[in-house]
Amino acid sequence: MSHTDSTSGALTALSIKALHQGITSGQFSVMEVTQAYLERIERLEPALNAYITVTKDSALHSAQTIDNRIRAGELTNPLAGIPYALKDLYCTAGVLTTAGSKILHNFISPYDAHVTTKLKQAGGVLLGKNNMDEFAMGSSNESSAYGCVLNPWNAEHVPGGSSGGGAAAVAARLTPMALGSDTGGSIRQPASFCGITGIKPTYGRISRYGMIAYASSLDQCGPMAVSAEDCALTLNVIAGFDERDSTCSTEPVPDYTATLNNPIAGLRIGVPKQFFAEGLNNEVGTIIQAAIKAFEAQGATVKEVDLPNSHLAVPVYYIIAPAEASSNLSRFDGVRYGYRCDNPNDLTDLYKRTRAEGFGEEVKRRIMIGTYALSAGYYDAYYLKAQQVRRLIKDDFVQAFKDVDVIMGPCAPTAAFKIGEKINDPVAMYLEDLYTIPVSLAGLPGMSIPVGFTQTGLPVGMQIVGNYFNEARLLNIAHQYQQLTDWHTRMPAQFA
């Protein structure tokens, strides 16, 4: 099938596996697939604002090179020739890397992040860098210096954050896969809001080298795609040890696709009573309960579990994460790279004005909170206490996993809310991560899969949480559900 008798829509509707099969069989070329996505981005991207940078020229050059290497038998990886997008906090050699901030508006990275290198080695084709909340701080993509990303299901609503650009791009089929980052829910929540599949692996499963840091003890890379199978194919490439990241695990990496078709009969599902209490939207709760019943119909058993300290997760997170951010973001001072204020009077003036002019309001708020929590008179009362409670939250999960295999529940308390609805109420915004933050604090793997729609047509995602390094089981469970349902294949009408 040539490009002339295949529409770009037909190619961009295919899964990663189907694209790989079509490329290797000669049904179509990498160049044709790449051109189809670039044409779609050019035509539809203005309606979403999902990309900060589109790397058209380098994508076409890569496509030609990879076509030649595939024909020569040099590239056989399932991601060879597959287009992808990166959240704009992954350093990419020669490409603008902004972290969604004015302070990095002119930063051209001189090197590649670990995951960027792995995807290049596999033969992936970079389409561009996705819009995001500034320095990954946000739950709605409204803190980006490049404007809010719009939800492809309803442009009046947010796509979620901070990986909202990648989630919206996958949902609108402007990329088959996007790498996001998850600190307190920033892959899972936008995946839920945009009706796609996203997974946050166990902390340390994927190297953070070359990933612009927000909170180093929480940040984790993960893929967002249409299906669990596509996420599994991606994890096979990017997971594993990297000596440049001291927190990266040496745990062996399984083939995440090998167990996708295992039966789920006998699966023990834990449902936390705290996740179905006050704060959860009734319609969202009903949709999640129906999805859990579908697993019961396949032979799974359901048991209520107790996470007694989960209500403390949000306040704990908003001490620890800002504290780490205040340290990590001290490097952005106008001296070495990025934005610099005009005509500073002295070094102190350079620091103050560069940071005041370069950082957005949400980033300033979190730096201030974090610096306060780490200050001499308050370290023990706030930061140290938060770390102690973090351990209690982790212990709750350890206890729960003695009786169940996975934990299921809502990903967010609501479907996507309207743009501007919570921007002036930081606490209401922070509570959007009520169900994802405990998982991040514990360092556990978690994922979101689409399980239905509200009456107003907004997607709802269910969160599945596993024990440490049990990503293969999560992907298996999600894949089995996706064999029986079509929620994940549905597309927003405007982009169908």
Q: Please tell me the least confidently modeled range out of 6-15, 37-46, 174-183.
A: 6-15
Question: Tokens representing 285?
Answer: 């709760």
What's 5's DSSP letter? G
Position 190 in a domain: yes
Q: How many CB atoms lie within 10 A of CB 71?
A: 13
Q: What is the pLDDT of residues 367-376, one digit of tens each?
A: 999 999 999 8
Residues 6+ apart with CB under 8 A from 34: 59, 60, 62, 63, 83, 125, 127
Is 128 a domain residue?
Answer: yes
On whether residue 381 sits in a domain, the answer given is no
The residue whose two tokens read 């370290």 is 379
Average pLDDT value for residue range 361-372: 96
Give which of 196, 212, 278, 274 is closest to 437, Cα–Cα. 274
Whether 4 shows a pLDDT value over 90: the answer reads no
Q: Is residue 32 part of a domain?
A: yes
pLDDT per residue as tens digits for the range 475-495: 999 999 999 999 999 999 999
**Predicted local distance difference test score (pLDDT) of residue 8:** 64
In one-letter notation, the amino acid at residue 369 is I
3 pLDDT above the threshold of 80:
no
User: Looking at 29, 109, 186, 326, which residue is catalytic?
Assistant: 186
pLDDT at residue 2, rounded to an integer: 38
Tell me, yes or no, whether 170 lies in a domain. yes
Inform me whether the pLDDT recorded for 258 exceeds 50: yes
Band of residue 5 on the pLDDT scale cut at 50, 70, 90: very low
Q: What is the pTM of this model?
A: 0.96
Token pair in block for residue 26: 């000669």
Active-site annotation holds for 162: yes
402 is catalytic: no
Number of domains the chain is built from:
1
Q: What are phi and psi of 130, to 5 degrees?
A: -85, 145
Q: Mean of the pLDDT values across residues 231-251?
A: 97
pLDDT number for residue 216: 96
Average pLDDT of 13-31? 97
Three-state SS string over 114-134 comes to: HHHHHHHHHCCEEEEEECCCH
- Residue 6 has a pLDDT of 44
Banded model confidence at residue 122, pLDDT cuts 50, 70, 90: very high
Strand ranges (E), 226-300: 268-272
| DSSP secondary structure letters along 366-392 | HHHHHHHHHSTTTIIIIIIHHHHHHHH
User: Would you say residue 127 has pLDDT above 80?
Assistant: yes
Q: What is the pLDDT of residue 7?
A: 52
Using one digit for the tens of pLDDT, what is the confidence trace for 173-205? Answer: 999 999 999 999 999 999 999 999 999 999 999
| Residue 441 resides in a domain | no
pLDDT at 496: 86
Predicted confidence (pLDDT) at residue 91 exceeds the cutoff of 60: yes
Residue 413's pLDDT is 96
Is-catalytic flag, 87? yes
- Residue 166 falls inside a structural domain: yes
Read off the pLDDT of residues 45-55 as tens digits, 9 standing for 90 and up: 999 999 999 99
Whether residue 207 is contained in a domain is answered as yes
Residue ranges making up the domain that contains 135: 3-263+487-495
Instruction: Work out the average pLDDT over 337-358.
Output: 96
E-assigned strands of 350-441? 406-410
Query: Which is catalytic among the residues 109, 143, 162, 207?
Result: 162
What share of the chain has pLDDT > 70, as a percent?
A: 98
For 450-472, what is the mean pLDDT? Answer: 98
Instruction: Extract the tokens encoding 484.
Output: 């029986």
Give me the CATH number covering residue 46: 3.90.1300.10
3-state secondary structure 243-267: CCCCCCCCCCCCCCCCCCCCCCCCC
Distance CA 204, CA 241 (A): 8
Instruction: State the average pLDDT for the chain.
Output: 96
- Residue 249 — pLDDT band, cuts 50, 70, 90? very high
